[in-house]
Amino acid sequence: MPKVSEDHLAARRTQILAGARRCFREFGYEGATVRLLEEATGLSRGAIFHHFRDKDALFFALAAEDGERMAEVAASEGLVQVMRNMLANPNDYEWLGTRLEIARRLRTDADFRAEWQQRSAELNQATLARLERKKAAGSLRDDVPTEVLQIYLDLVLDGLIARIASGQTLDELTAVLDIVEASVRRRS
């Protein structure tokens, strides 16, 4: 049997994730049947589940990929910048549908919620570390615990995603982010 190269395996995995992202965005987690995943990826169920043990593992791989991207920006530029980037280029954020599905499953699936809490630690750590650095530099308010600021920004992110999904005007949301940013800055 011929050995498959690592490059081929990585390309196949990327193909599966891209198709699954479109499928989950269009049909939601529950509606994304194996047949629809096969159509979206152009691959058989055997090929899909060779790379991912089940639909949950596939969904978590997407969520982890999205979280890593967000964590990179949050660590270097802050969570508010992640949100500004989303508003400036909404078409670059195909993962918004995944994030909405995550919110639904967090509410309805205790097992998913437990696994998500473990997997979302990277974004939380990146955001918290950046907030700590900004607070130490004197640019963030010091009358509120850093963990509370992080939760506040996470709530704003979730609300922003819901508003973008509902078609809210981007100009209005940009003005809201200006207020959010001002609210976490140290007051003179």
Return the residue matching tokens 């205790």.
110
| Domains and their CATH numbers in the chain | 1-52 (1.10.10.60), 59-184 (1.10.357.10)
Rounded distance between C-alpha atoms, residue 63 and residue 157, angstroms: 15
Check if the beta carbon of residue 153 is closer than 8 Å to that of residue 82. Answer: no
Rounded distance between C-alpha atoms, residue 51 and residue 58, angstroms: 8
Q: Is the pTM of this model over 0.85?
A: no
Q: Tens digit of pLDDT per residue, the chain (188 long)?
A: 556 688 888 899 999 999 998 898 888 888 999 999 999 999 999 999 999 999 988 988 888 787 777 778 877 888 888 888 888 877 666 667 777 778 888 888 898 888 888 777 777 887 888 889 989 999 999 999 999 998 998 889 888 888 887 777 778 888 899 999 999 988 86
Return the residue matching tokens 């994730």.
17
CB atoms within 10 A of CB 52: 19
Check if the beta carbon of residue 64 is closer than 8 Å to that of residue 123. Answer: no
Return the residue matching tokens 């909404």.
90
